[in-house]
Amino acid sequence: MKTLINFLLFLSIFSMVSCDDILEEDISNDTVQIISPQNNQEIVSNVVNFQWSELDGADQYRVQVYSVGASLIVDSLVTQRNLSYPLEQGAYQWRVRGENSAYQSNYTFNYNFSVIETDDLTNQQVILLNPSDNLYTNSSSIILNWQNVNVADTYTFELINVTNGESIVSQQTDLTATSLTLPNTLLTSDAEYRWKVKAVNSTSQSAFSSRKFLVDRTIPNVPINQNPTNNSTQVVNQPITFTWTIPADVGTIQSTISYTIEFSNDITFASILQTATTNSLSFQQTFTTAGEYYWRVKAKDTAGNTGATSSPFKFTIN
């Protein structure tokens, strides 16, 4: 009897401990090792690259950067062991800790560092703002933006068609603004494009900063309904798996496709009972009311192109 009581007590305590606590390594007494910037280091650049060593048992790292007045200006959770961040000239402190789903390590000691502004652009970077890297779009005109570099006099821009053998589509120098609108005459082809900007002054220039965007104006193909077949009979309160296929995308740029499935009591879909979106070629739904229903599917890609709906199939719930 005593053994049984002890066993039940153990189970009670065990049940109060989460699975994460059991499976995750306890890193609460560990500390990450900083690589750079080191304490009191001077950074002669407009971008600081924070680096640290891997901590066993940590899945993510929290990086915090403070200004001299102890104001928190960066609080980022990252999976990699580095973080690049643009900072104005001034004095700062930073620290980092490891985290997993159950534990957090100690923060490192606060390391002091300073950012020094210089006229030399060699180690400085142009921070690209918009569009985001690897954006898919069906737009014919795109606005590009980047962050001002204080000691730059002008900027040099290049647009490259990666799909067409890295051919240069546009090259502009002596730009003084930090934005540029690409006219539709430049983006005539569906393709992957790389845009690059560098800062220039009378004595030096930065390296190019670059991002990609992908132009896809090809409308997705029309899905083909598979199951349940047209005019089929289904059982009320039982899950039904709707499946369909879609012809292969033969466009130059093949954006990821999602699907919208619609249900109606009317073959014209004048009134839609339910709409759902999925990334797969199937969807499961249970109907609690007997009657006649119709279903159809349409495809939409990440560039914003929407295809036509499939031919509706009828099914009856008994």
Q: Provide the 3-class DSSP secondary structure of residue 107.
A: coil
pTM above 0.85?
Answer: no
pLDDT-derived band at 306, boundaries 50, 70, 90: very high
What are the backbone dihedrals phi and psi of residue 162, each rounded to the nearest 5 degrees, phi first? -70, -40
- Angstrom distances, CA of residue 249 to CA of 244, 245, 255, 303, 307: 15, 12, 9, 14, 12
| Polymer length of the chain | 318
- The string of pLDDT tens digits covering residues 143-200 is 999 999 999 999 999 999 999 999 999 999 999 999 999 998 999 999 999 999 999 9
**Which region among 22-31, 246-255, 258-267, 284-293 has the lowest average model confidence (pLDDT)?**
22-31
Number of Cβ within a 10 Å radius of residue 12: 9
Which whole number is the average pLDDT over 277-297? 98
Would you say 119 and 204 are in contact if contact means Cβ atoms under 8 Å apart?
A: yes
Distance CA 234, CA 177 (A): 63
What DSSP string describes 247-308?
A: PPP-SSS---EEEEEEEESSTT-SSEEEEEEESSSEEEEE--S-EEEEEEEEEEETTS-B-P
* pLDDT bracket for residue 236 (50, 70, 90): very high
d(CA 299, CA 223): 7
For residue 69, name the pLDDT band (cuts at 50, 70, 90). Answer: confident
pLDDT confidence of residue 20: 52
- Domains in the chain: ranges and CATH: 18-115 (2.60.40.10), 128-215 (2.60.40.10), 224-317 (2.60.40.10)
Taking residues 294-303, report their average pLDDT: 98
What's the pLDDT score for residue 70? 76
* Per-residue pLDDT, 23: 85
Mean pLDDT calculated for residue range 45-60: 97
Indicate whether 8 pLDDT > 70. no
